[in-house]
Amino acid sequence: MWEADVPVCIVHSSFRETNRLQLSRRRMYQAAIPIWRREDYESYFEDTMKAGHYENDKESVDIMIRSSQDVIKDLLSYGVDFARDEKGALAFTREGAHSDKRILFHEDITGQEITSKLWAAVQKLPNVTILEYTTMLDIVEQDNVCCGAVIRKADGSIETVQADETVWACGGIGGLYRHSTNFRHLTGDALALSLIHNVKLKDINYVQIHPTTFYSEDEEERSFLISESVRGEGAKLYDKKGERFVNELLPRDLLTEAIYEQMEKDHTNHVWEDLRTIPEEELKTHFPNIVEHCRKMGYDVTKECIPVVPAQHYFMGGVWVDHESHTSMEHLYAVGETACNGVHGRNRLASNSLLESLVFAKRAAKKMMRNEECNLADPDAVIAKVDFTEYEDEAALQKRYKDAVRAAIRETDRKMHTVKTA
């Protein structure tokens, strides 16, 4: 994807003294990835639109679906090991709100399998410099043209990085919520910087709650996701009396609403999920990490139900981008959960996140390779003017960013509610 003579710097960061790359290797990314098969286009398109309450950008949806085969070919070329059937062909499963089996997977850690193989490939590139334990504090811009970033390095020193192109890949906003499947340090830094630098945002109150995560009383613990695929393979949900109360394959937002209603009715902090409906051998083969996590938490999923609760899972809104992931600021891009190209609408269809991220990141890379150099007359002079004093108090800076994002989401939600009730 990157030409060998083009220098690339990857800043991998968090406000906490942790390394997200190392974390990603240790934690279990249970996401899977759909693929378009020619006879399946119409139903896949409709499933995505329906889940998004038909607020999706249709062109974005079309691009994502039609690009899926090429993305899967890319992943296979990097050694990603998707599950195979007895004949050696790619195996498919079904997830909630999907009308057919179109989901590729690797056990129940597909995301980890993909990121580890891509990470290994990146490390081999001679033109890539990786700065770990390094935090992006701000971007550097003038006249709506981005020319780099302000960073805090592992030793605490603050520096600037000049760049012809800058890409935000800062994740979502899970750190703002009590229950979240995201890492606690993902608090919407790119949104805060967008507010500061007048970069266009879109649908920032569109927050997806995953219906089923393992219930824990530890408020600092990252919520462990009980994969959509579990319900796709037949897992059931029960109330406190052990009675089924909902169709488990409803879209996530509708299922979440039903679970919250049942919790309120039962006066409980969770409901129960029954994985015993899945054959034991299939359960242990397809979902080994879920089985193991539940075992560590004191539950044998082959013999008993587990407590589950909805948790913030995905951010459909974010920094507005076009179909090549370019923001409203020149030479600034956003990809992944940070970006909002409209593909998900109001509610993301299960597993579309990985596919959308890969498709539109690839389009961004191709667009950047066609771009001219930064069109500021003297980017060096802009970089030189940066005052580091406002970044010295890390805790205060983090609080300012988090407060700004929370306030913006609340205000956007208030305005939308006012319009609906007017």
Spans of the chain, pLDDT less than 50: 1-2, 14-28
212-311 shares the fold of 8-206+316-421: no
The pLDDT value given to residue 418: 73
The pLDDT value given to residue 27: 42
Is residue 193 within 8 Å of residue 199, measured between CB atoms? yes
Active-site annotation holds for 252: yes
SS3 assignment for the chain: CCCCCCCEEEECCCCCCCCHHHHHHHCCCCCCEECCCHHHHHHHHHHHHHHCCCCCCHHHHHHHHHHHHHHHHHHHHCCCCCCECCCCCECCECCCCCCCCCEECCCCCHHHHHHHHHHHHHHCCCCEEEECCCEEEEEEEECCEEEEEEEECCCCCEEEEECCCEEECCCCCHHHCCCECCCCCCCCHHHHHHHHHCCCEECCCCEEEEEEEECCCCCCCCCEECCHHHHHCCCEEECCCCCECCCCCCCHHHHHHHHHHHHHHHCCCCEEEECCCCCHHHHHHHCHHHHHHHHHCCCCCCCCCEEEEEEEEEECCEEECCCCCECCCECEEECHHHEECCCCCCCCCCCHHHHHHHHHHHHHHHHHHHCCCCCCCCHHHHHHCCCHHHHCCHHHHHHHHHHHHHHHHHHHHHHHHHHHHC
* Residue 347 φ then ψ, to 5°: -155, 125
Domain edges within the chain: 8-206+316-421, 212-311
The pLDDT value given to residue 28: 41
In terms of C-beta density within 10 A (0-12 exposed, 13-18 middle, 19 or more buried), how is residue 84 classed?
exposed
The pLDDT value given to residue 214: 96
The pLDDT value given to residue 185: 87
- CA nearest neighbour of 275 among 248, 314, 251, 313: 248
Domain 8-206+316-421, CATH: 3.50.50.60
pLDDT tens for residues 297-306? 999 999 999 9
Q: Which two tokens stand for residue 19?
A: 């390394």
- How would you label 341-375 residue by residue, b for 16+ Cβ within 10 Å and e otherwise? bbbbbbbbbbbbbbbbbbbbbbbbbebbeeeeebe
The CA distance from 167 to 333, in Å, is 5
Domain 212-311, CATH: 3.90.700.10
Distance of CA 193 to CAs 136, 157, 402, Å? 10, 20, 11
Residue 169 neighbours by CB distance under 10 Å: 19
- CA nearest neighbour of 226 among 317, 303, 316, 297: 297
The pLDDT value given to residue 420: 58
Catalytic residue among 252, 346, 348, 363: 252
Amino acid at site 187: T
